[in-house]
A and B are shown apart, each in its own frame.
Chain A
Amino acid sequence: MAGNPLLSDRDVDFVLHDLLDVGSLCRLPHFRDHSRETFELYLRSARRLAREVLYPSYRAVDEAPARLQGGAVTVHPALREIYPQLVALGTIAAPRPAEVGGQQLPHVVAAAADLYLMAGNLSATSFLGLTAGAGHLLESFGTEELRRTYMARMYSGEWSGTMALTEPQAGSSLGDVRTRARPTPAGHHLLDGAKIFISGGDQDLTGNIVHLVLARIEGAPPGVKGISLFCVPKLRPEAGRLVPNDVKVSGLIHKIGWRGFPSVVLSLGEEGDCRGWLVGQAHQGLAHMFQMMNEARIMVGCHGVATAAVAYQESLEYARTRPQGRPLASRDATRPQVPIVAHADVRRMLLRQKAIVEGGVALVLTVAHQADLAGHAEAPEARARAQRLLDLLTPVAKSFPAEWGFESNALAVQIHGGYGYSSEYLPEAWLRDQKLNSIHEGTTGIQGLDLLGRRAVADQGAGLRTLLEEIGSAAAQARQAGVDPAWPAAVERAGAALAETTMALAKKGLSGDAEGMLLHSTDYLRAACILVVSWLWLKQAAVAQAGLARDAASRPFHEGKLCAAQYFICTELPDLERLLRLCRDGEDSYGRMREEWF
């Protein structure tokens, strides 16, 4: 093996084909030009690019972050070589429809390829991910003119895109956005304000940068109902040339991770000449932006899985080759030392990593698959069902990889012992990268509020009911395959318990006690994450158990799957009950606690 494989190909193929049967998507009219062969060839290219080009530059890019000089950001030189190759691969518009220059690739296959690229070098791939999301906003809501001028060049990678939401006083609370937009008779608006943490907000890779900016039109109502979305290019086309659009970089954030990907402070309209073009309807900006934010949340889930995966592969290889100590049973010092994977406690850590990483791969690919079905399944009911699951699972797909992934990344450091604490080894870098995923695109706290306050109770809990149906059929499948019957029973019990708790909390909310309902929303989110990933492990166990009976040569792979499923269901799932109890009983230590008592 040449280097770190980033992810297990066998596992990704297992999820794509054995678990999700993505080949059957090709029967849907939208995907009719595709086949397993196009999927395989695309994945092959992505795997190679990730392993041969992206990964070898990861350390160098982490060690020498982007610089801001004279108002302009310079990225690491390696990125200038990588960027065109990523563009050439065709990732930006891969899932978009043919009429806008896309290839109608299912999201699930695009996401699988992205996992490799992200695991290879997160910073390098992030420019393209944001461009795709920003381009899609213009595709959905932009005028013909905006689509022609900007979207097409973004999808081709000539220009890049950003999402510019956050302001110093408006982070989690986007309703407090203050950037102003003044209408002009010419049709455009003049913008004036400051944005912070804008990723990809400046760089020297593309000829132009298109910011999708949230701002408030003069006289707009306060709060979220007064926010509009604007297309604000760094350079605007004027009389056949590109001229500066009064977008200034006033600072560069010094980050602890993702260090190749510059996040900047932007100052709009210092000279009164920053032009923005309204995207979609006035005052509907946040609603429009939610399209990008929902996509971005799934993308963040992929970041989390990829970052945990590459570190897992690293610690796995380390544990197989680092000799240390001897078996408990025979301490004979004249015998050679054993590799640390021979110690049960090291296998505990590795198996936890495996359960998190492969559970995460199954999670993000399942959610991407639901996005494909929600958009393109033939029967309207099938589309609606997939949409319900997608809506419910989005905060889980964002938060499980971020939170459990961080623990998995910490285990990679731990397995490396003292060497893991040294920056000579890579696990500490991935740990730094991973931390961002619980912060951006809505912190874990905000995801919990969103899940419990909105998504789980929407439509009388229709999303949860769909999830329970899915759990029911996975349980039946598992029993039929001969999986230990205690596992499906435990997952079904957990599903029922989550549903019950949700009802009780919804009642509390309806009675006017929103504080009480949401006091443990983060615990609720954690419980939902555990339930969803247990469901996916149960499904994997069913397929693995059936495989074990059928195919002797794959025995090691399937046994490994079953051990990881057992680990998650028998050691992680029991925590759900504790978490739900906290939610139901409203344990109020921090509820009662006052600021002055700290």
Chain B
Amino acid sequence: MPLKILVTVKRVEDPESKIKVKPDGTGIVTDGVNYKMNPFDEIGVEEALRLKEKHGGEVVVASIGGDKSITEIRSALAMGADRGVLLKHEGALDPLLVSALFQKLTEQEKPDLVLLGKQSIDDDQNQTGQILAERLAWAQATFASKKESLESEAEQKKQPGLVLSADGKKMQVVREVDGGVETLEVSLPAVVTVDLRLNKPRFASLPGIMKAKKKEVKEIATASLGVELQPKVVVKKLFEPPKRAGGAKVADVPELWKKLHEEAKVV
């Protein structure tokens, strides 16, 4: 049963770069900051490629952003995805809008499965996948993971962690929950968001990078999708958390109690 899979990829700041808040709090200093594909999305691309290797089908990657986001699409194409779509957009967005835009794209592309990272490491919101499933009225499974470790043989053999049923109509998803994992079954089409322990993504190879140049990337202006592009969640100000004051030694338990009670006001 070939699968058509749509995977979202976001361009984010590379946490290896030193990230600093601008003095006026309107954003971060972008100079000298490197960008990369959101690591959770990379896991999504890897999973899609494994599913395609096993079942056949097509992997389409999509990003929302400016021209530079094409680099992240190419990065996914270099890993092996088939084609890309850039929803071209400058300016602020929130998960409500992102999911609305991906809803439109999903309706156009009609994939069997949409894979998203469970969150992006810049804003860490963890909402887009859930809202998208709701908008589409599709089944959803979040935080996809697998039982085998990343050192296991299954991982060495690049087995997908998501398991397609024999009739191709359902997908089994192992998901991380507090204190363990649970296994869900979703009927397709579905939205799945992926977590860290699902797989170890491959590196784009140089031959893959050269092949990716020849793959199609379609650009769609977000304004043409009929979505009202006004974010409801607005970032007003960024600031660094206050520096932690140093600890102090206390002489005995009564003093500790007093400090907790009167200064920290936690007991």
Contact = CB atoms under 8 A, between A and B. Distances in A.
A and B pair up: yes
Given A9-B34, A554-B31, A45 B16 contact: no
Contacts of B30: 553
Residue from B30, B34, B71, B206 whose CB has the most chain A CB atoms within 10 Å: B206
A317 interface: no
A40 B71 contact: yes
Contact of A105 (B71, B202, B206, B213): B206
A91 interface: yes
Interface in A1-43: 1-2, 5, 9-10, 33, 35, 37-38, 40-42
A37 B215 CA distance: 14
A51 B206 CA distance: 18
Contact of A44 (B17, B75, B208, B212): B75
B66 to A, nearest CB: 14
Classify the interface of chain A: helix, strand, loop or mixed.
helix
Contact of A551 (B31, B34, B74, B213): B31
Interface string A118-135: 000000000000000000
B42 to A, nearest CB: 10
A141 to B, nearest CB: 25
A103 B207 contact: yes
B205 interface: yes
A255 interface: no
Interface stretch (A82-90, A205-213, A430-438): A82-90
A88 B205 CA distance: 6
Nearest to B202: A88
Contacts of A91: 206
A42 B71 contact: no
A53 to B, nearest CB: 9
B158 to A, nearest CB: 12
A94 interface: yes
B210 interface: yes
A253 interface: no
A33 B211 CA distance: 10
B110 to A, nearest CB: 29
Contacts of A85: 203
B32 A44 contact: no
B78 interface: yes
A486 B89 CA distance: 50
A554 to B, nearest CB: 5
Contacts of A89: 203, 205-206
B213 A38 contact: yes
Q: Which of A35, A85, A94, A553 has the most CB of B within 10 A?
A: A553
11 contacts: A5-B16, A9-B16, A9-B34, A37-B70, A38-B209, A41-B204, A44-B204, A49-B203, A88-B203, A103-B207, A557-B32
Interface of B: 16-17, 29-32, 34, 36, 70-71, 74-75, 78, 202-210, 212-213
Interface of A: 1-2, 5, 9-10, 33, 35, 37-38, 40-42, 44-45, 48-49, 51, 85, 88-91, 94, 103, 105, 551, 553-554, 557
